[in-house]
Amino acid sequence: MQKILYITPLFLFVLACGPSKNSHSGGSPTVKRTSPSDPRFIESISMTPGEEGPGANNSANTGRLIGPGHSSVSGAGMNIENGTDLQFKYAIMLDENVESMNNLALLQFIDEWFGTRYKYGGSTKSGIDCSAFTCTLQNSVYGKTLPRTSREQFDQSQKIPSESLQPGDLVFFNTRGGVSHVGIYVSNNKFVHASTSYGVTISDLNDEYYKRRFVGAGRL
């Protein structure tokens, strides 16, 4: 008997994301869950071991981020169930170890303000400028009071070398003459600030724009 082979065409749909401007976006990435056993995805970044991209459990990132069913994060012995969505979210954004995301007050503050639009002279969630943002963050997270302008904050802070930066330190830039922009260092060369283009966002000190305009760092 002659066998007849039926071949069903397979259509592959490739979903492509458009490149984002610079290294940050205008809004905070979200964590999407389908069931407790599913991998978590943040801006199309999978935490599933073996996949490519930031947070992948490959030779370059082993022990940095792990997926469901894996017992611990290397270095701290932190069980996966002890890590919050907020810690995973910002570990990926900052390309950092999950266990180093231990300042939950800072992460919560950033998350609540992320995407707030820039408004010169503003100091609320309807609009805020860079120095008002650093004032509000320092007071809310660290209980410290800063003067209102970036120049005054620069003058008041103790100057430190950039290689000594710690979370909560101030970073200053010359964007339009003198000290005219300020942000708060978070981790791994990343800082949070109220950007005129993106509002409250996270940027990288190594970005060419900020690298050329970096004035110095300060500690309260």
Output the pLDDT for position 218.
97
Q: Which of 24, 70, 135, 193 is catalytic?
A: 193
pLDDT in tens, 27-71: 444 333 333 333 333 333 333 232 223 333 333 333 333 333 332
Distances (CA, A) of 4 to 9, 10, 103: 16, 19, 65
Verify whether residue 70 is a known catalytic residue. no
Going from the C-alpha of 102 to that of each of 42, 96, 99, 168, the distances in angstroms are 19, 11, 6, 13
pLDDT for the residue numbered 81? 58
What is the arithmetic mean of pLDDT over 15-25?
A: 38
Residues in the chain: 220
More confident site: 17 or 125: 125
Cα 100 to Cα 113: distance, rounded to the nearest angstrom: 21
Told to judge if 193 belongs to the known catalytic residues of this protein, a careful annotator would answer yes
Lowest mean pLDDT: which of 7-11, 110-114, 118-122, 203-207?
7-11
Whether 24 is catalytic is no
Whole-angstrom distance, CA of residue 135 vs CA of residue 196: 17
Q: Which of 17, 24, 70, 130 is catalytic?
A: 130
128-159 pLDDT, tens digit per residue, is 999 999 999 999 999 999 999 999 999 999 99
What's residue 79's pLDDT? 52
